[in-house]
Structure 1
Amino acid sequence: METKCLLPFHLFLLLLSLPLSKPDLSADHSALLTLRSAVLGRTLLWNTSLPTPCSWTGVSCEQNRVTVLRLPGFALTGEIPLGIFSNLTELRTLSLRLNALSGKLPQDLANCKSLRNLYLQGNLFSGEIPDFLFGLKDLVRLNLGENNFTGEISTGFGNFIRLRTLFLEDNSLSGSLPDLKLEKLEQFNVSNNLLNGSIPDRFKGFGISSFGGTSLCGKPLPGCDGVPRSIVVPSRPNGGGEGKRKKLSGGAIAGIVIGSIMGLLLILMILMFLCRKKSSSKSRSIDIASVKQQEMEIQVGKPIVEVENGGGYSVAAAAAAAMVGNGKGGDLNSGDGKKLVFFGKASRVFDLEDLLRASAEVLGKGTFGTAYKAVLEMGTVVAVKRLKDVTISEREFREKIETVGAMDHENLVPLRAYYYSGDEKLLVYDYMSMGSLSALLHGNRGAGRTPLNWEIRSGIALGAARGIEYLHSQGPNVSHGNIKSSNILLTQSYDARVSDFGLARLVGPPSTPNRVAGYRAPEVTDPGKVSQKADVYSFGVLLLELLTGKAPTHALLNEEGVDLPRWVQSIVREEWTSEVFDLELLRYQNVEEEMVQLLQLGIDCAAQYPDNRPSMSEVTRRIDELCRSSLREDSQPEPHNDASDDMSS
């Protein structure tokens, strides 16, 4: 009798244990299809004939559940309907950034209790930030920037005890900034909102850029003195009319006008005098003061673009200005009989006289000296590097520079000639019209820029690796010593050429601090003694720069106080690897595996201990395999047209 009574109870427990309403992969599959249908994603070319969605673009699974959904920049539009996230309950990472999604955040997002990374920036979401979001207490990264959110910043953000990133910039949030006790917060931005009041102590350690475009006050912004920061109130000793701007009298205005006219006439007279003087002078005359001023502008860190193409001065003028600045005097035509010394089969269509008469433009100031673009009278264009801090004897210099000149590889910038005198040392190279990798990556990120695709970037990586591998093959003690993106020059077809090789052993310690220390291996203490494994470290940083689009001196890295390798490793550890890549690379969905492998190679090269780094020959082999693999894939972005979308379903 007792057994019969227990049977219904056991049956009841069995029924409770059945997954009657628990979502599984089939529910995830259905939810993803509903999402695609609702947001009109023209580039979601998912192959629905596959048994599971785990191989679809942007979808990752673990233990038979969808855990990652990344759809950045997929032209998604419209509102996200309810019912999707109530099925995708095992999501850990959700990235819908850089689309055109609108409306309010769907309430069933609250069901994704395992969510750690939520990236919704760059959309059109509106309304107040909903309270249900604050129930996702495991969030580590939250980015709601560049939307249309309104209302105040809730104290509910304080629930995110694990939060490290909070971006709310470029919305219409109003009110004050609450004092949120987010102890682990590393990245924070509320700029370009309608916020006011004082900045709480918790956030005073972040930079000014985190609060720009608001009416907040207090460190790091100006103090809360009750005076609007955009208005300057003049002191009024008599007290009358306070708050009004003092008007100028008629006499003062007349004086300003007359003074301006006289000043303009004086400037015109000076210009006419200079033009007449220039036309009567010889072609070899130089304006030392103007050249010295341009070199000073570069030394104090003004952008190179401000001085390029501006002087039209000669190489002789550049050298003379440097000697005047050093208090040495003299010039390159001092009658010492010195000549340009050419290497190998280098063309000898010009001599020292031709070089000194060439018009010169400053290309940049580097670790070893200043580089110029020199246009000779016969039309030949070369690059001239004027070395600084050369302390070795002429004999030792000649021995070392001849070793450099003898190096011949298609991925090296060939050294054509050199000049040595007591006051001046010049190196003559082939001119690379496309400039450096640094300028290509970071020079122009605005409208009209042509994105650097995976094929170009991987090709540059392979070419640079081959050039450095060749250098290392010349002997166990032969290294580059100064690998960085500004020393990787490019041809018209984006082929990489390594420059400045061998110069680290020619010059003394830099007179100014190394502005690109982010490339230097931890064990390097003497810039003149850099091992091959230290070169590998620098090349690893270069690979990470290629993939992330961030230089080692990027402002974000400086704010966090970490170098580029550690920043990349922290992101990979947080399982949001795709977020590390440059936005320009995320369009190429078919080469994600190769991108991740190259990222891992960069991390391997930048290992802290030299013995854990691969050799350059191994690095070259791995990059070559990646490039060959990606050639077998279609590396172009998926087509944005309705026809292709219809075919996928």
Structure 2
Amino acid sequence: MFLKNLSFSVFFVLLFLPLSKPDLAADRAALLSIRSSVGGRTLFWNISQSTPCSWAGVLCEGNRVTVLRLPGVALSGQLPTGIFSNLTQLRTLSLRLNALTGQLPSDLAACTKLRNLFLQGNMFSGEIPEFLFTLHDIVRLNLGENNFTGALSVGFGNFTRLRTLYLENNRLSGSIPDLKFEKLEQFNVSNNLLNGSIPAGFQAFDSSSFLGNSLCGQPLDSCATGPNGTLVVPSTPTDEAGNAGKKKKLSGGAIVGIVIGSVVGFFLLVLILMFLCRKKGSKKSRSIDIASIKQQELGEKPIGEVENGSGYGNANGYSVAAAAAAAMVGNGKGGAEVNGAGAKKLVFFGKTSRVFDLEDLLRASAEVLGKGTFGTAYRAVLEVGTAVAVKRLKDVTISEREFKEKIEMVGAMDHESLVPLRAYYYSRDEKLLVYDYMPMGSLSALLHGNKGAGRTPLNWEIRSGIALGAARGIQYLHSQGPNVSHGNIKSSNILLTQSYEARVSDFGLAHLVGPSSTPNRVAGYRAPEVTDPRRVSQKADVFSFGVLLLELLTGKPPTHALLHEEGVDLPRWVQSIVREEWTSEVFDLELLRYQNVEEEMVQLLQLGIDCAAQYPDNRPSMSEVTSRIEELRRSSLREDQDLQPDVVDVDDNSSR
């Protein structure tokens, strides 16, 4: 009897065991199954930890995994069935830009809370499965750049909350069903095998959303009807024999001719490259002779050998040295100081050491750092070994007297978080500004430049420190008077010292240039109320700084917010993410490894949103901004100190 009761009990437990709710342990097991099932780059997860919530790309809420982001980590192979049935609390799944193949696992249907699914840039194949359309809460869906086939299902209409649908660069065929999406903002089915007319519900989208198909109707060319009333749409071009899409085979003679021509062309190219290299090697980098400068027309001929610089912007190979901007020295025109011989010279500010003069600057070797809003910047290395940054201003339209008044105000600014203006040169034709050279370049170059293996990841400590330094510099500028503003806040104007300390540059220059320099200024950073970029209020500065904070946290330039599915500006993109409650998806992947400061990261994100408020009165002052950054940095420091004894080093050998 006892054995009978025991057997019944075991049967009862086994019967209901599969119905038990998954927990964090089941989530962890599912993640490890993913790790062991797909090949590719090692996922640096410390599997000795019992919780997966601190693993890179994994975020948890309520003791469950809610976000899994593994973009661009070279995963390959097929996702096996049986993994996602445990990850039932997933709201965001991002496996984009990998090399995953096969069909989507059917148990993905168990992730009923999924809102954001990013699978673009893989090699998934087969028809888009019907079970996907049971996930009614999906808001963002990107299946682009895969090998999906078949027709567009009417099941897409089940996504009543859908805002993004990207299906481009697949092999989908048939017509586009007439679906009604009340909230759809982004749509793309370009480069498929679709045909027919574009339904009215999709005609508001740009033509680029439909190119590469056999489609007609708005926004493409109008559809035509045949003699019997049938719809005539563009078709695949055919050859003379009527073989659609097939190219004629080349004759053997043609192939031989192509091969011989290619070989000859290759050798000609090699000879040309050898000639250019020898010519370049014969010209050694030389100093600039003032006598020869006076004989050259300004800006028309190269004056010295210039190398591409890695400094403040994109080095563009200009061959005009920094000192060439002052080629009119000694012409007796314009203002600035004049020596006994009547030649212009540099005007230094304050206690700046006068270790060089204009002739030293002209003789310096130089390299282009980049072209900015107000002119071209150069790195000039003086004969004594000192490096300075020289900015050659363009489109200066104000009088000499006004220029001197305004530039002297800039030179009087003295704060550790500003790039100090050391000297200037003024003539009727040329205006030069001389600054300290910042060896680490700009924040823009650091964020959006080299992404290769040699890149040093920008951790939370560096990024929050840069935010604080920039805020302090701008706060100091605002403290100089209610009408004093920067006017051109952007990541390329935040320069960095060797220890990654932020220095604000280009302050006060917005008032010096004419309107021709203003149309494209601070694209993506400009406050909505600004109509004249030469007149920017302090509240408009706060808006620009808010965009800068969002750029710092997301790693996305505000001028190219499409990097992550959205066709809106950066502030609105971030706000839409916060509204949809998938905040973790917004952060730069390099920040996701710092789980212990996630709360501070969210606080800084919220500060960026507050600063970028639509209406100026809703934005905080820069003093308040600085205080909030100081407080969250103190908070993260305290947390680091509290967690220090329990830190577990990640053993690379323990990772797959």
**Equivalent of 2:628 in 605, 614, 622:** 622
Q: Deviations over 1:182-217 (max 9, x none)?
A: 5343334567x7x335486366776788679x7777
Q: Deviations over 1:68-107 (max 9, x none)?
A: 3435369989876666655665654445667787764343
SS of the residue 2:515 aligns to:
coil
Q: 5+ residue gaps in structure 1?
A: 1-19, 230-240, 296-302
Aligned twin of 1:116 = 115
Distance 1:560 1:71 in 2: 17
Q: 1:197 to 1:246 in 2, by over 3 A?
A: farther
- Aligned-pair identity in percent equals 65
Aligned twin of 1:587 = 593
TM-score (norm. length: structure 2):
0.73
- In the alignment, is the contact (CA less than 8 A) between 1:153 and 1:176 conserved in 2? yes
Q: Deviations over 1:392-438 (max 9, x none)?
A: 33333223222221222221111111112222221100111222111
Q: Deviations over 1:467-487 (max 9, x none)?
A: 111212222222111111111
Report the alpha carbon displacement of residue 139 of structure 1 after superposing the two structures with TM.
Answer: 1.6
Aligned twin of 1:520 = 526
Q: 1:116 to 1:247 in 2, by over 3 A?
A: closer
Matched, 1:201 2:203: no
Q: Deviations over 1:326-384 (max 9, x none)?
A: xx999x99964322111122221111111123233332222222222222233322111
Aligned twin of 1:317 = 324
- In the alignment, is the contact (CA less than 8 A) between 2:322 and 2:377 conserved in 1? no
Report the alpha carbon displacement of residue 489 of structure 1 after superposing the two structures with TM.
Answer: 0.8
Matched, 1:68 2:63: no
Q: 1:220 to 1:442 in 2, by over 3 A?
A: farther
Aligned twin of 1:59 = 60
Report the alpha carbon displacement of residue 496 of structure 1 after superposing the two structures with TM.
Answer: 1.0
Counterpart residue identity of residue 292, structure 2: S
Superposed, 1:176-215 pairs within 5 Å as 176=174, 178-179=176-177, 181=179, 183=181, 184-189=183-188, 195-198=192-195, 201=198
Report the alpha carbon displacement of residue 602 of structure 1 after superposing the two structures with TM.
Answer: 0.2
**Size of the alignment, in residue pairs?**
581
Q: Deviations over 1:464-518 (max 9, x none)?
A: 1111112122222221111111111112221111001111233333445124332
Report the alpha carbon displacement of residue 108 of structure 1 after superposing the two structures with TM.
Answer: 3.5
- In the alignment, is the contact (CA less than 8 A) between 2:489 and 2:541 conserved in 1? yes
- Give the stretch that moved more between structures: 452-461 or 478-487: 452-461
Aligned twin of 1:418 = 424
Aligned twin of 1:532 = 538
Distance 2:454 2:569 in 1: 30
- In the alignment, is the contact (CA less than 8 A) between 2:545 and 2:611 conserved in 1? yes
Q: Deviations over 1:548-591 (max 9, x none)?
A: 12222106289965321112111211122122222232233332
**Equivalent of 2:650 in 626, 630, 639:** 639
Matched, 1:457 2:463: yes
Q: 1:371 to 1:575 in 2, by over 3 A?
A: same
SS of the residue 2:367 aligns to:
strand
Distance 1:293 1:180 in 2: 61
Q: 1:508 to 1:329 in 2, by over 3 A?
A: closer
Aligned twin of 1:404 = 410
Q: Deviations over 1:34-89 (max 9, x none)?
A: 42453347627596589x99xx952223xxx9583435369989876666655665
Counterpart residue identity of residue 30, structure 2: L
**Equivalent of 2:316 in 307, 311, 324:** 307
SS of the residue 1:105 aligns to:
coil
**Equivalent of 1:553 in 534, 559, 562:** 559
Q: 1:561 to 1:370 in 2, by over 3 A?
A: same
**Equivalent of 1:43 in 42, 45, 48:** 45
Counterpart residue identity of residue 650, structure 2: P
TM-score (norm. length: structure 1):
0.73
Matched, 1:27 2:22: yes
Distance 1:543 1:143 in 2: 27
SS of the residue 2:423 aligns to:
strand
Counterpart residue identity of residue 70, structure 1: L
Aligned twin of 2:575 = 569
- In the alignment, is the contact (CA less than 8 A) between 2:471 and 2:626 conserved in 1? yes
Q: 1:445 to 1:208 in 2, by over 3 A?
A: farther
- In the alignment, is the contact (CA less than 8 A) between 1:59 and 1:70 conserved in 2? no
SS of the residue 1:163 aligns to:
coil
Counterpart residue identity of residue 479, structure 1: S
Distance 2:334 2:350 in 1: 33
- Give the stretch that moved more between structures: 136-145 or 181-190: 181-190
- In the alignment, is the contact (CA less than 8 A) between 1:465 and 1:620 conserved in 2? yes
Matched, 1:347 2:353: yes
- In the alignment, is the contact (CA less than 8 A) between 1:368 and 1:510 conserved in 2? no
Superposed, 1:359-398 pairs within 5 Å as 359-398=365-404
Distance 1:21 1:451 in 2: 45
Distance 2:213 2:279 in 1: 50
Report the alpha carbon displacement of residue 601 of structure 1 after superposing the two structures with TM.
Answer: 0.5
Aligned twin of 1:142 = 141
Q: 1:641 to 1:356 in 2, by over 3 A?
A: closer
Q: 1:45 to 1:614 in 2, by over 3 A?
A: farther
Q: 5+ residue gaps in structure 2?
A: 1-15, 37-43, 222-232, 240-247, 304-311
Distance 1:387 1:502 in 2: 13
Report the alpha carbon displacement of residue 644 of structure 1 after superposing the two structures with TM.
Answer: 8.7
- In the alignment, is the contact (CA less than 8 A) between 2:321 and 2:368 conserved in 1? no
Matched, 1:159 2:158: yes
- In the alignment, is the contact (CA less than 8 A) between 2:119 and 2:144 conserved in 1? yes
Aligned twin of 1:15 = none
**Equivalent of 1:432 in 438, 448, 454:** 438
- In the alignment, is the contact (CA less than 8 A) between 1:46 and 1:57 conserved in 2? no
Distance 2:554 2:300 in 1: 37
SS of the residue 1:367 aligns to:
coil
Report the alpha carbon displacement of residue 461 of structure 1 after superposing the two structures with TM.
Answer: 1.0
Aligned twin of 1:8 = none
Q: 1:27 to 1:600 in 2, by over 3 A?
A: same
Distance 2:561 2:568 in 1: 11
Distance 1:245 1:158 in 2: 53
SS of the residue 2:351 aligns to:
coil
Distance 1:554 1:176 in 2: 33
- In the alignment, is the contact (CA less than 8 A) between 1:587 and 1:637 conserved in 2? no
Report the alpha carbon displacement of residue 614 of structure 1 after superposing the two structures with TM.
Answer: 1.2
- In the alignment, is the contact (CA less than 8 A) between 1:164 and 1:187 conserved in 2? yes
- In the alignment, is the contact (CA less than 8 A) between 2:93 and 2:117 conserved in 1? yes
**Equivalent of 1:613 in 588, 605, 619:** 619
Distance 1:72 1:483 in 2: 33
Distance 1:409 1:109 in 2: 56
Counterpart residue identity of residue 159, structure 2: F
- Give the stretch that moved more between structures: 564-573 or 32-41: 32-41
Report the alpha carbon displacement of residue 547 of structure 1 after superposing the two structures with TM.
Answer: 1.2
Give the root-mean-square deviation of aligned CA atoms.
Answer: 5.1
